[in-house]
Amino acid sequence: MKILVTGGAGYIGSHTCLELLKENYDVVVLDNFSNSCKESLNRVQNITGKTLSFYEADLLERPSIHQVFKDHTIDAVIHFAGLKAVGESVTIPLKYYHNNLTGTFNLLSVMDEFNVKNIVFSSSATVYGNPATLPITEDFPLSATNPYGRSKLVIEEILQDLYKSDKDWSIALLRYFNPVGAHESGEIGEDPQGMPNNLMPYISQVATGRLPRLSIFGGDYDTPDGTGVRDYIHVTDLALGHIHTLPKLISKTGVVIYNLGTGNGFSVLEMVKSFERASDRQIAYKITERRPGDIAACFADPSKAKKELGWEATKSLENMCQDTWNWQAKNPMGYRTHSKKE
């Protein structure tokens, strides 16, 4: 079975390609490297001892997508490609809407043309906005507080409309909570360009000395220690969530929605302490103002995915911190550490 992975060179995409190859899927990657580099794919191939097909192409250029579908008989698409920085989406919304929405339109229209109607879409817990209660189930009300989140919400709605119009489509909307960690080999991991926006890469760059100190955004939330609580999930568990989704996607048409989280919430301070234990280094931090748009706490009820997909996250917070540290210590400058930037 042949899977097209858009954004396959990125953080979650590379880990998913690795698990797909391990499960003997044929993998075709389309990525424009706007937030990644080819080295991640070289390493995925080295780790698995298998090869994948690769296209340096932009979803904004429809003919490039067309070429991929002409060259390969694709069974299903896992659609990771998109811009994902919440803060940046507020300052340059048009770029976010253009990339995420137009890119998805182009992809869906080429899929339709080639009669490939199976798609897994990377959605996010951000579509739940500020939930009234916790844990979050898939039927909670949806809202968006920034252009990034709105692009996810709109794409979810477009995919629902598509199924209403044509019952041959099979669509999985996977709502990720907070992916962290790296493959246990330490060969692939998260490699943010410039200053990290997310907590875990920021902490790990403080641990290596690349950044001087973590700012903890808010110490006065209504949470046990006053800092924000999130559902951190190991990226390999997340990747495996996609592997468990594929058989259901292929076997039955419709729209399915799953939370991919662990169901556990950890505070920023708990993350710092756990990372200190894993790295045996102290993380300098300072509690600062809340970050605009942040919510106090967010964690999933992942029981639907367990019941219907037979998937659940198995890796502990300790695993997440150890694997992040292993990747970061081996690759202090990310993929540029050992190789020329592609």
Catalytic residues: 148
Q: Rule CB under 6 A: choose which of 198, 208, 223, 303 binds ligand UDP.
A: 198
Q: Rule CB under 6 A: choose which of 35, 170, 227, 326 binds ligand NAD.
A: 35
> Angle CA(253)–CA(4)–CA(313) in degrees, nearest 5?
70
Distances (CA, A) of 131 to 135, 144, 290, 300: 9, 11, 18, 11
Q: Rule CB under 6 A: choose which of 18, 20, 29, 31 binds ligand NAD.
A: 31
Which residue's entry shows tokens 């037979």? 310
Position 217 contacts ligand UDP (CB under 6 A): yes
Position 10 contacts ligand NAD (CB under 6 A): yes
- Interface region with ligand UDP, contact rule CB under 6 A, candidates 31-39, 111-119, 192-200, 276-284: 192-200
Q: Cβ closer to ligand UDP: 198 or 208?
A: 198
Convert residues 143-182 into a mask of x (bound to ligand UDP by CB under 6 A) and - (unbound): -----------------------------------x----
Write out the two tokens for 22.
């391990």
294 binds, among ligand UDP, ligand NAD, none (CB under 5 to 8 A by kind): ligand UDP
Q: Which of 311, 153, 172 is nearest to 253 (CA)?
A: 172
Strands 53-56 and 26-31: parallel
Q: Cβ closer to ligand NAD: 207 or 233?
A: 233
- Report the alpha-carbon distance of residue 316 to residue 319 in Å, rounded: 5
User: Could you tell me how many residues make up the chain?
Assistant: 342
- Report the alpha-carbon distance of residue 228 to residue 240 in Å, rounded: 27
288 binds, among ligand NAD, ligand UDP, none (CB under 5 to 8 A by kind): none
Q: Cβ closer to ligand NAD: 35 or 331?
A: 35
237 binds, among ligand NAD, ligand UDP, none (CB under 5 to 8 A by kind): none
* Residue 70, burial from CB neighbour count under 10 angstroms (0-12, 13-18, 19+): exposed
Q: Which helix (H) or strand (E) holds 330?
A: helix 317-330
Q: Rule CB under 6 A: choose which of 3, 5, 11, 120 binds ligand NAD.
A: 11
Q: Cβ closer to ligand NAD: 35 or 259?
A: 35
> Angle CA(21)–CA(263)–CA(323) in degrees, nearest 5?
50
- Report the alpha-carbon distance of residue 284 to residue 286 in Å, rounded: 7
Q: Cβ closer to ligand UDP: 13 or 228?
A: 228
The greatest distance separating any two alpha carbons of the chain, rounded to the nearest whole angstrom, comes to 55
- Report the alpha-carbon distance of residue 95 to residue 84 in Å, rounded: 11
Distances (CA, A) of 69 to 33, 55, 106: 20, 11, 12
Write out the two tokens for 61.
């250029």
Q: Interface residues for ligand NAD in 40-59 (CB under 6 A)?
A: 58-59
Phi, psi of 164 (to 5 degrees): -60, -35
230 binds, among ligand UDP, ligand NAD, none (CB under 5 to 8 A by kind): ligand UDP
* Residue 240, burial from CB neighbour count under 10 angstroms (0-12, 13-18, 19+): buried
Q: Interface residues for ligand NAD in 151-190 (CB under 6 A)?
A: 176, 179
Position 33 contacts ligand NAD (CB under 6 A): yes
- Interface region with ligand UDP, contact rule CB under 6 A, candidates 48-56, 191-199, 240-248, 329-337: 191-199
CB 334 within 8 A of CB 39: no
AA identity, residue 48: T
Convert residues 94-133 into a mask of x (bound to ligand NAD by CB under 6 A) and - (unbound): -----x---x------------------x-x---------
264 binds, among ligand NAD, ligand UDP, none (CB under 5 to 8 A by kind): none
The residues that touch ligand NAD, with contacts defined as CB under 6 A, are 7, 9-13, 31-36, 58-60, 80-84, 99, 103, 122, 124, 176, 179
The residues that touch ligand UDP, with contacts defined as CB under 6 A, are 178, 197-199, 202, 214-217, 228, 230, 268, 291, 294
